[in-house]
Amino acid sequence: MIDIVELEKNWLRYKIKSYLPHFIIFMSLSIITFLGLIFFDIFSSNTAVQKTAPLKKETVSIPILHTETTQETQLKLQPSLNFVKKMQDERYTYHKEVKKIYHPQVAPKKAPQIAKVAQHKSIKKTNIQITSKNTAQNLQSIIHRFKESNDPRLSLFLAKKYYEQKNYQQSYNYALITNKINSKIDESWIVFCKSLVHLGKKKFAIKVLQDYIQATQSSTANILLSNIKSGKFR
Amino acid sequence: MDSMQTTIYSSSKNVFLDTVNANDYIQLDRVSTIYQSLKDSINKPLKMILLYGKPGTGKSMFLSKLHKDISSSQVVYLYSTPILDESEFYKTLAQDIFDTKYHGELNFTQFMKIVQASNLASIPIVLLDEAQLYSDILMEKIRLLSDTRTVKFVITLHKTEKEDLIAKEHFQTRIWETIELENASIAELKIYIQKKLMKANCFDTASMFTDKNIKLIHKFSAGNYRDTNKLLYTLFELYAIYEKNHRLSSFKMGIISNKLIEMAALHTGFIHD
């Protein structure tokens, strides 16, 4: 008489043994595929990082092309990157707007000279006509010193000076350069945003301030933001 | 219903009992051709016919079938079980063929005298199964006896390397014809199983074998008839047990379960867990 229970157990063992090689092959292939996918994923991420890294540099360096300084350093605060990118896209637009803004404020014969703000050689001419010779010489001296030392205090000074002279394009540029060298200087952000407002980029200025306040809780920036929103700052 | 099913499986089981019975002979195309060739050879002026093949290829069945078929028209003696004692062998032949009962030891010289003194109307045919069991000395005597043309021998040998050597050394020049039997192919095995079952009126179980079943059976038995019989006997025994235990519903009805074929193969030792 056949012992069915025992025979069924033997059969089960036989089936497991017969499927074992297939199972091992299947599992091996699955693991290889899984590892392959992980490796591919990591490789893809690295490639993406490598591809995006230069983009950041490009984004930051573009405004510098319009300035007198050429040295590149890393911008540390993230919020600035967004608006810089936006600014890059629209820089040609606000260049035109600069003309529109300044036409009613400046005498007609001076307007073409102010429009050349972005050009290096025109600075001297503009300063001669608007400010005293001494101030222009001082600014040139400071610019020269800044080129040599790359001191953010000098660039901040230049930004403030240009802002006082209502040369908002240059004040914007120097504020940005200052921020690049040292992104923790509160005043560079303030001058930068004020310049933005004067360049007709009020919304951008608000956005930048909001991001900056969120990151630093700066009270000065908070006051400026309130003033811009309420219309007190014009 | 249950009792009827049990009868079907039990009947099917008994079909595959490993016995040599000429009535169980299954005609397959290739086998029939070989068999016809053997029958034709019998009628030729031969000295000896060697029928060889691996164990379980149907050599014994061939001899049994041949004996049954020609016994009505020819003098034929079948010795399915080898007579290993030499004297006993001569005495058996003397009594059966030459109707001479001999008491005491009978040696080859004495036996040859009986042969020469005989006056038979026709040449008797002696069918010797399992000839590989005979001693070399006795086989040499059988060869000498066949040379006298007073007796025709049809002998079967298991085909092994050693037995091939025996065939070459002892019979090469004397064998008039050699016939080799081989294992069944998958197609032949299917016909064999189905014909065997249908011959026993087991039509239900005969129709339950699918091509996949046959392939699996062939995988385990390699087409060997004896092994196939053993496997199928166990298979239907398992079916009968499952039926008795009311567990047959766990298998798909109408076709043979591969699981049970594998279990039968495990039980009969064709595979191991």
Segments forming the whole domain that contains residue B72: 29-181
pLDDT, position B1 = 45
Query: Quick one: A105 and A129 in the same domain?
Result: yes
The pLDDT-based confidence of A105 (bands split at 50, 70, 90) is very low
> Which tens digits make up the pLDDT trace of B129-168?
988 888 888 988 888 888 888 899 999 988 765 556 555 5
Report how many domains make up chain B: 2
pLDDT, position B25 = 83
Query: Quick one: B129 and B42 in the same domain?
Result: yes
Is there a contact between B128 and B76 (Cβ–Cβ < 8 Å)? no
The pLDDT-based confidence of B170 (bands split at 50, 70, 90) is low
The pLDDT-based confidence of A216 (bands split at 50, 70, 90) is confident
Query: Quick one: B168 and B205 in the same domain?
Result: no
Query: Quick one: B142 and B263 in the same domain?
Result: no
Q: What is the dihedral of CA B155, B159, B161, B164, to 10 degrees?
A: 30
Query: Quick one: A92 and A146 in the same domain?
Result: yes
Averaged pLDDT, A110-130: 44
pLDDT, position A128 = 45
Question: What CATH number is associated with residue A203?
Answer: 1.25.40.10
The answer to the question of residue B264 being in a domain is yes
Please check the confidence at residue A68 and state whether its pLDDT lies above 70. Answer: no
More confident site: B258 or A229? B258
Segments forming the whole domain that contains residue A6: 1-56
The answer to the question of residue B157 being in a domain is yes
Is there a contact between B39 and B49 (Cβ–Cβ < 8 Å)? no
Query: Quick one: A49 and A99 in the same domain?
Result: no
pLDDT, position B19 = 81
**Residue B266 at interface with chain A, using a CB cutoff of 8 Å:** yes
Calpha distance B90→B100 (Å, rounded): 10
Query: Quick one: A7 and A91 in the same domain?
Result: no
The pLDDT-based confidence of A131 (bands split at 50, 70, 90) is very low
Q: Which of B145, B161, B181 is the last residue of a domain?
A: B181
Lowest average pLDDT, out of A27-31, A122-126, B120-124, B215-219, goes to A122-126
Q: Which of B118, B153, B181 is the last residue of a domain?
A: B181
Q: Contacts of residue A2 in chain B, CB cutoff 8 Å?
A: 234, 237-238, 241, 267
More confident site: B173 or B18? B18
> Which tens digits make up the pLDDT trace of A74-85?
444 444 455 555
List Cβ neighbours of A154 (8 Å cut-off, separation of 6 or more): A142, A145, A146
> Which tens digits make up the pLDDT trace of B18-61?
888 888 888 888 888 888 888 888 887 777 888 888 888 989 99
Q: Which of B181, B207, B238 is the last residue of a domain?
A: B181
Query: Quick one: B7 and B88 in the same domain?
Result: no
The pLDDT-based confidence of B217 (bands split at 50, 70, 90) is very high
Is there a contact between B50 and B61 (Cβ–Cβ < 8 Å)? no
Report how many domains make up chain A: 2
| Tokens standing for residue B203 | 């039509």
What ipTM goes with this model?
Answer: 0.78
Query: Quick one: A69 and A176 in the same domain?
Result: yes
Query: Quick one: B249 and B171 in the same domain?
Result: no
Query: Quick one: A39 and A117 in the same domain?
Result: no
pLDDT, position B7 = 74
pLDDT, position B187 = 94
pLDDT, position A218 = 86
Instruction: Answer yes or no: do B272 and A2 touch at CB < 8 A.
Output: no
Each as own residue / partner, the long-range contacts of residues B202-206 (CB below 8 Å, 24 or more positions apart, any chain) are B202/B8, B202/B11, B202/B12, B202/B15, B204/B8, B205/B8, B205/B9, B205/B12, B205/B236
pLDDT, position A125 = 45
Mean of pLDDT over chain A: 73
Instruction: Answer yes or no: do A11 and B234 touch at CB < 8 A.
Output: no
Mutate to test the interface with B, among A3, A10, A16, A19 (most CBs of B within 10 A): A10
Calpha distance B239→B260 (Å, rounded): 8
Instruction: Answer yes or no: do B262 and A15 touch at CB < 8 A.
Output: yes
Query: Quick one: B78 and B201 in the same domain?
Result: no
Query: Quick one: A136 and A173 in the same domain?
Result: yes
**Residue B161 at interface with chain A, using a CB cutoff of 8 Å:** no
> Which tens digits make up the pLDDT trace of A12-37?
999 999 898 999 999 999 999 999 99
- HEC letters along chain B: CHHHHHHHHHHHHHHCCCCCCHHHCCCCHHHHHHHHHHHHHHCCCCCEEEEEECCCCCHHHHHHHHHHHHCCCCCEEEECCCCCCHHHHHHHHHHHCCCCCCCCCCCHHHHHHHHHHCCCCCCCEEEECCHHHCCHHHHHHHHHHHHCCCCEEEEEEECCHHHHHHHHHHHCCCCCEEEEECCCCHHHHHHHHHHHHHHCCCHHHHCCCCHHHHHHHHHHHCCCHHHHHHHHHHHHHHHHHHHHCCCHHHCCCCCCCHHHHHHHHHHHCCCCC
Nearest-CB residue to A11 (from B237, B242, B262): B262
Q: Contacts of residue B273 in chain A, CB cutoff 8 Å?
A: 10-11, 13-14, 17
The answer to the question of residue B211 being in a domain is yes
Query: Quick one: B144 and B213 in the same domain?
Result: no
Query: Quick one: B189 and B177 in the same domain?
Result: no
Calpha distance A54→A213 (Å, rounded): 28
- Nearest CA to A211 out of A230, A181, A231, A183 is that of A183
Length of chain B: 273
Calpha distance A96→A29 (Å, rounded): 62
Calpha distance B72→B80 (Å, rounded): 19
Mean of pLDDT over chain B: 87
Query: Quick one: B156 and B230 in the same domain?
Result: no
pLDDT, position A109 = 44
Rounded to 5°, angle at Cα A127 from A121 and A130? 140
Is there a contact between B262 and B216 (Cβ–Cβ < 8 Å)? yes
Instruction: Answer yes or no: do B273 and A17 touch at CB < 8 A.
Output: yes
Query: Quick one: A126 and A50 in the same domain?
Result: no
| Tokens standing for residue A215 | 């990151």
